[in-house]
Structures are given as C-alpha cells and as structure tokens.
A and B are shown apart, each in its own frame.
Chain A
Amino acid sequence: MLKFTEEHEWLRKDGDTVTVGITAHAAEQLGDLVFVELPEPDTDVSKDDEVVVIESVKAASDILAPLDGTITEVNEAVVDNPTLVNEDPMEGGWFFRMTLSDPSEMDGLLDEEAYRKLIE
C-alpha cells in the first residue's frame, strides 16, 4: 500500500513496517539536498513530531512524523549522500522505517490520485 501526506511525504506499507520518504515533487521543489539529519532508531514518535532535518542548497526544512509509531530503521545512505533524495526520492532516497501505533490510521492518508490532485 502506497499513501501520501499533504506534507509531501510518501508511506509504503510492507507487512508491519512502513517506509517513509518525500515525493519527487517535494524533492524537486526543495532543490539539491546537501544535509540530512535522521532520528535514532527505536524512537517513539507522535504525528507531526519533527523527526528529520533536511537542508537543500536553498533552505532548511523539517520532515514530520506522518503518524504515531516507533522508528525502527533509518537510511544512513542519504546522510552520506543527500543528493540520493533528489535522484531517487521514491526508492533509494527513503528516510526511515517505522511501525504504526494504529495501522488503520494509514487508511486516512491520501492515495496516489488524491496526492496528484493536491500538487496540480
């Protein structure tokens, strides 16, 4: 299942684990990323907590936790090479994986068509 938020994040559910990144649209708007700071694994987060700091050539932005849950894994590859987020935002440029406190909450997020309408 692939879902989106109005904050331009994507969430891909695979079993109990949800992988989170930013959309190609967001990556393009931000411009080349030069810095990514990720949370520690095993951190409990609440929806809208600032969990990731990203900086592009232009400005700093925060990535918010899309839902309540626990961070289980982070993608060190984007810390070493932030432009990976621009080059491959939907696959290799993911930020973190998490388990959700209430997996059903994911149903309330935007589907691909709704997200596409949002950015039109």
Chain B
Amino acid sequence: MNFDFAQSHFALFELPTSFALDRARLDARYKALQTEYHPDRYASHDDATRRLSLQIATRVNEAYQTLKSPLARGRYLLTLAGVDTEEETNTAMPMDFLMAQMEWREAIGDTKASRSVDALEALNRDLAQETDALTQELGALIDDDRDYPAAAMAVRKLRFLEKLHEEIGDAIEAVLF
C-alpha cells in the first residue's frame, strides 16, 4: 500500500481538476479510500503504521470536505493555479455588492429581533438562491473563462454570503435551543 501526500485532492479522488464535480463519484471514492486507509483497519498494527493511517485518513477527510464545498473547491482550484484569493486582505468590493450586503444585514437584524424561525428560514432560502447563482458564476469563471482574478472576486463574495448564512443559522439556533 502506498500513499502520495503530494498529489492534489482531485488526483486522490481520481477526478478531473475542474469546478464541475461528479458528486456521486466523489462520494463513492471517499468511501473506497476510507475503507482502505481508516485507522480502524490498522488498530492492531504497530505505532508507526497506525500514525501513518491516521495521517492518511485525516488527509482523505480534508480533501473530501474541500471538494464537497463549492466555496472551498473554488478556493482550492485557485490555489492550485497559484492565485491568492486574498480573503483576509482584499476588502475592495463593487459598490452594488456592498449595497446588497448592507440590505442583507438589515434584513437579518430585523428578522432576528422578531425571533421568528420561519422568517429566518425564509431569509435563508433567499440567501441560498443568491449563493447558487454566484456558485454557477464561479464555476464558469474557472472552468470556461479561466479568468482567475474574477474568480477570486467571486470567492470573496461567496465568503461574505457564507458568513451571512452562519449568522442566520446562529440566530435560528438561538431561538430554538
């Protein structure tokens, strides 16, 4: 049994290096990989082997999570192409996106105050639609246009939307639990 820690997540999962993803193949390969490398397979082996199996299984989980999430997958593809998404440093955003952000925040603030789970869930559905549209755009920018600077912008925008999604989720939990 061999494992190459240097290979890309796509290579590990025997998938083409693209944003478009065959989810069924990803899931099937994930189970095959864990069946082969999971620490449970090596519970009775020596320390070094168990440690290695732990590292491999950890890598497989990390790769699976990265490829499964559109945002993480886009970010990873850009990293492979040598592009920094500058999510922490680049805060320059188009004016219309910033305006839309402010509207989202206001809506979340108001709905939070109402403590209505239904209203928060409705907001979440609207946000999911916007996220889906932006995800489609990101896919086209990477796979078709190979416009990485524009794709990096899309990743930064998606990160914003993800934070909004987390905020709504926290608000729902605060009401429910």
A binds B: no
Residues of A within 8 A of B (CB): none
